Amino acid sequence: MILQVEGVSKSYASLKALDNVSLSIPEGVIYGLLGPNGAGKTTLIRLINRITMPDEGTIYLNGNSLSSDDISYIGYLPEERGLYKKMKVKEQIHYFGQLKGLSHYDVRAKAKDWLERFEVSHLADKKVEELSKGMQQKIQIICTILHNPKLLIFDEPFSGFDPVNAQLLKREILRLRDEGSTFLLSTHNMNSVEELCSDISLINHSKVVLQGSVRDIRHENKSDILSITLQDKEINLDSSRVEVLERNIISSGVAQLRVKKLHTESNSTLLSSLLPQAEIYSFYEELPSMEDVFVKTVTMKK
């Protein structure tokens, strides 16, 4: 595991920000850190970056207790951006690169590559204050990843991005993951969680209330609803075993059914009962979105 958080708690006066939180992140994955506002996500991120220290518990990086020297192996993109607005873009990147120990030569080479990747080479001589929010976000990301950290912590990285630039960022995140980087991604964008994250931890009221792989979590929270596209004919279904939720004509001679299985009806049994009655064009089980799971879990845990 590249990062392990074991039994971490943190309080601010009478406020319990984190309560016995544990998670483990393997190397080379994109791990989602989810939760409503005020749940404790930012506190955990601050602890991992040693901005503040836990009251209880231990954080390990590459199997060793996290120390101040380890911060150079972490790239942190905070939700609140930290660029110097009067500096030119290239000066900004150079400054942050040297803070992370890069030579002047390395900064120039890496900056050129990343400016091109994020399609902002033409902004190198612009002052940060002259850029749009989305362009400033790109520069902040470049400053974060320039020194090639093995662990990247991104807090709401898609904020300020239009759909085109959000896709560009997703592409670069996946490329960096494929090259060996590990991401801890904190976001309220559940579509991005489904697209990018292999595993998640959901924190609510300072505690981890849901944890595991995105795929397993969606399957565990399914509602036994099936979507069936079939020949538009009269269909007889056992109402004691299957409830028809919707029936729509989607084209000439083609209908779509949404049904909910009752009791322990298997997909195979249901399909077998349909095959003699009409031609089946598609048959799949609907899974809840991560947004559905998020809302359900947070609401249940209030």
The answer to the question of residue 269 being in a domain is: yes
Structural domain count, the chain: 2
- Model confidence at 302: pLDDT above 70: no
- Higher pLDDT: 83 or 164? It is 164
Greatest alpha-carbon pair distance for the chain in Å reads 74
Same domain, 85 and 52: yes
Segments of the chain assigned E as strands: 3-12, 15-25, 30-34, 56-61, 64-65, 74-77, 151-155, 182-186, 199-204, 207-213, 225-231, 242-251, 254-261, 280-285
CATH number at residue 264: 3.30.70
Same domain, 145 and 73: yes
Same domain, 92 and 17: yes
Same domain, 210 and 246: no
What does the alpha-carbon distance between residue 15 and residue 18 come to, in Å, rounded to a whole number?
Answer: 9
The answer to the question of residue 147 being in a domain is: yes
Query: pLDDT tens digit string along 4-62?
Result: 999 999 999 888 999 999 999 999 999 999 999 888 999 999 999 999 999 999 999 99
Same domain, 86 and 99: yes
- Model confidence at 164: pLDDT above 90: yes
CATH number at residue 106: 3.40.50.300
Contact 253, 201 (CB under 8 A): no
Same domain, 191 and 113: yes
The answer to the question of residue 276 being in a domain is: yes
In terms of Cα–Cα distance, which of 12, 99, 7 is closest to 60?
7
Q: Encode burial over 83-103: b for 16+ CB neighbours within 10 A, e otherwise.
A: beeeebbbebbbebbeebebe
Same domain, 213 and 242: no
Residue 64: how many other CB atoms lie within 10 Å: 9
Vertex 235, ends 274 and 227: CA angle to 5°? 60
Which pTM was predicted?
Answer: 0.85
Q: To the nearest whole percent, how much of the chain has pLDDT over 90?
A: 56
What does the alpha-carbon distance between residue 177 and residue 149 come to, in Å, rounded to a whole number?
Answer: 11
Same domain, 262 and 139: no
SS3 158: coil
Query: Residue 251 has what pLDDT?
Result: 87
Query: Where in the sequence is the domain holding 215, given as residue range(s)?
Result: 3-219
What does the alpha-carbon distance between residue 203 and residue 18 come to, in Å, rounded to a whole number?
Answer: 9
Same domain, 158 and 248: no
Query: Residue 152 has what pLDDT?
Result: 96
The residue from 173, 197, 219 where one domain ends is: 219
The answer to the question of residue 190 being in a domain is: yes
